[in-house]
Amino acid sequence: MLLDARDLHVEFHTRDGIAHAVNGVGYAVDAGQTLAVLGESGSGKSVTAQAVMGILDTPPGRITQGRILFRGRDLLTLKGEERRRIRGTEMAMIFQDALSALNPVMTVGDQLGEMFVVHRGMSRKDARARAVELMERVRIPAAAQRVRDYPHQFSGGMRQRIMIAMALALEPALIIADEPTTALDVTVQAQVMDLLADLQREYRMGLILITHDLGVVADVADRIAVMYAGRIVETAPVHDLYKAPAHPYTRGLLDSIPRLDHKGRQLYAIKGLPPNLTHIPPGCSFHPRCPMARDVCRTDEPPLYEVSETRGSACHFWRECLDG
Amino acid sequence: MAEPILEVSGLVKHYPLTRGVLFKKQIGAVKAVDGVDFTLAQGETLGIVGESGCGKSTVARLLCGLERPTAGTITFKGEDITRLSGKALKAVRRNIQMVFQDPYTSLNPRMTVGDIIGEPYDIHPEAAPKGDRRRRVQELLDVVGLDPEYINRYPHQFSGGQRQRIGIARGLALRPEIIVADEPVSALDVSIQAQVVNLLARLQTEFDLSYLFIAHDLSIVRHISDRVAVMYLGRIVETGRDSEIYDHPTHPYTQALLSAVPVPDPDAREHRERIILTGDVPSPADIPSGCRFRTRCWKAQERCVVEVPALAVPAAFRDAAGPAAHPSACHFAEEKQVVPPEESRLNGNGPG
Ligand SMILES: Nc1ncnc2c1ncn2[C@@H]1O[C@H](COP(=O)(O)OP(=O)(O)OP(=O)(O)O)[C@@H](O)[C@H]1O
Ligand SMILES: Nc1ncnc2c1ncn2[C@@H]1O[C@H](COP(=O)(O)OP(=O)(O)OP(=O)(O)O)[C@@H](O)[C@H]1O
Ligand code: SF4
Ligand SMILES: [Mg+2]
Ligand SMILES: [Mg+2]
In this prediction, residue A281 has a pLDDT band, given cuts at 50, 70 and 90, of very high
CB-CB: which of B194, B224, B267 is closest to A269?
A: B194
Task: Report ipTM for this prediction.
Answer: 0.84
CATH architecture of B4-18+27-230: 3-Layer(aba) Sandwich (3.40)
Report which ligand 3 atom has the smallest distance to the Cα of B298: 8
Among residues A194, A52, A220, the alpha carbon closest in space to that of B277 is found at A194
- Mean local confidence (pLDDT), A159-168: 89
Alpha helices in chain A (DSSP H): 45-53, 80-89, 98-101, 108-120, 124-137, 143-146, 156-168, 186-203, 214-220, 238-243, 248-256, 295-299, 318-322
Average pLDDT, chain A: 92
Give ligand 1 pocket residues (Cβ under 6 A): A 12, 14, 19, 21, 39, 41-47, 57, 60-61, 212, 277
For residue B103, what pLDDT is reported? 67
For residue A295, what pLDDT is reported? 96
B261 contacts in A (CB within 8 Å)? 186, 215, 260
Task: Suggest the residue from A186, A193, A214, A254 to mutate for an interface test with chain B (most B CBs closer than 10 A).
Answer: A186
**What is the C-alpha separation between A290 and A246, in angstroms, rounded?**
13
pLDDT at A300 over 80: yes
Residues facing B178 on adjacent strands: B96, B210
Residue of B nearest to A217 (CA): B264
- Asked if A210 and A178 touch (Cβ cutoff 8 Å), the reply is yes
Q: In what order do the strands lie in the sheet with B96-99?
A: B96-99, B178-182, B210-214, B45-49, B227-232, B235-241
pLDDT in tens, chain B (352 residues): 567 999 999 999 999 988 877 777 888 889 999 999 999 999 999 999 998 889 999 999 999 988 999 999 999 998 999 988 888 888 888 899 988 877 667 788 899 999 999 999 988 888 888 888 899 999 899 888 888 888 999 988 887 778 888 989 999 899 899 999 998 888 788 888 888 898 899 889 999 999 999 998 899 999 999 999 999 999 999 999 999 999 999 999 999 999 999 888 888 887 788 888 887 788 899 999 999 999 999 999 999 999 999 999 999 898 888 899 999 999 999 999 888 776 544 444 445 4
How does pLDDT run across B331-347, given as a tens digit for each residue? 999 999 888 776 544 44
**What is the C-alpha separation between B47 and A234, in angstroms, rounded?**
35
For residue B347, what pLDDT is reported? 43
Q: Which ligand sits closest to the CA of B18?
A: 2
**What is the C-alpha separation between B151 and B140, in angstroms, rounded?**
10
Report which ligand 1 atom has the smallest distance to the Cα of A49: 18
Q: Which ligand sits closest to the CA of A38?
A: 1
Cβ of B232 closer than 6 Å to ligand 3, yes or no, is no
CB atoms within 10 A of CB B3: 10
Per the CB < 8 Å rule, is A212 touching B256? no
Per the CB < 8 Å rule, is A258 touching B222? yes
- Asked if A107 and A149 touch (Cβ cutoff 8 Å), the reply is yes
CB-CB: which of B261, B345, B350 is closest to A252?
A: B350
Q: Which ligand sits closest to the CA of B17?
A: 2
Torsional sign, CA A267, A271, A276, A280: negative
How does pLDDT run across A121-143, given as a tens digit for each residue? 999 999 999 999 999 888 888 88
Residue of A nearest to B347 (CA): A255
The H or E element containing residue A93 is strand A91-94
Per the CB < 8 Å rule, is A186 touching B201? no
CB-CB: which of A194, A261, A321 is closest to B276?
A: A194
Residue of B nearest to A158 (CA): B280
Question: Counting one residue from A and one from B, how many pairs have CB atoms under 8 Å apart?
Answer: 160
A286 contacts in B (CB within 8 Å)? none
Give Cα separations from A117 to A127, A151, B327 (angstroms). 6, 20, 56
In this prediction, residue A25 has a pLDDT band, given cuts at 50, 70 and 90, of very high
Report which ligand 3 atom has the smallest distance to the Cα of B252: 5
Compute the 3-state secondary structure of chain A and give helix, strand, coil in percent, each to the nearest 5.
40, 25, 35
Torsional sign, CA A243, A249, A253, A255: positive
Give ligand 2 pocket residues (Cβ under 6 A): B 15, 30, 32, 50, 52-58, 216, 284
Give Cα separations from A88 to A81, A115, A168, B230, B231 (angstroms). 11, 9, 11, 44, 43
CB-CB: which of A191, A254, A261 is closest to B340?
A: A261
* Three-state SS at A29: strand
Residue-range domain boundaries for chain B: 4-18+27-230, 251-344
Task: Suggest the residue from A222, A259, A270, A276 to mutate for an interface test with chain B (most B CBs closer than 10 A).
Answer: A259
Report which ligand 3 atom has the smallest distance to the Cα of B253: 5
* Three-state SS at A47: helix
**What is the C-alpha separation between A111 and A127, in angstroms, rounded?**
10
Q: Which ligand sits closest to the CA of B291?
A: 3
Task: Suggest the residue from A155, A160, A187, A316 to mutate for an interface test with chain B (most B CBs closer than 10 A).
Answer: A187
User: Does B205 touch chain A if contact means CB atoms closer than 8 Å?
Assistant: no
**What is the C-alpha separation between B153 and B117, in angstroms, rounded?**
12
Among residues B122, B133, B131, the alpha carbon closest in space to that of B90 is found at B122
Q: Amino acid letter at B244?
A: E
- Asked if A127 and A69 touch (Cβ cutoff 8 Å), the reply is no
Among residues B237, B296, B282, B283, the alpha carbon closest in space to that of B29 is found at B283
A187 contacts in B (CB within 8 Å)? 51, 256-257, 260, 276-277
Report which ligand 2 atom has the smallest distance to the Cα of B30: 5
- Asked if A233 and A249 touch (Cβ cutoff 8 Å), the reply is yes
- Asked if B12 and B71 touch (Cβ cutoff 8 Å), the reply is yes
Q: What percent of chain A has pLDDT over 90?
A: 66
The H or E element containing residue A177 is strand A174-178
- Asked if B50 and B56 touch (Cβ cutoff 8 Å), the reply is yes
**What is the C-alpha separation between B291 and B310, in angstroms, rounded?**
9
* Range with the poorest average pLDDT among A145-159, A235-249, A280-294: A145-159
CB-CB: which of A185, A191, A218 is closest to B265?
A: A218
How does pLDDT run across A70-113, given as a tens digit for each residue? 999 999 999 989 999 998 889 999 988 877 788 999 999 999 99
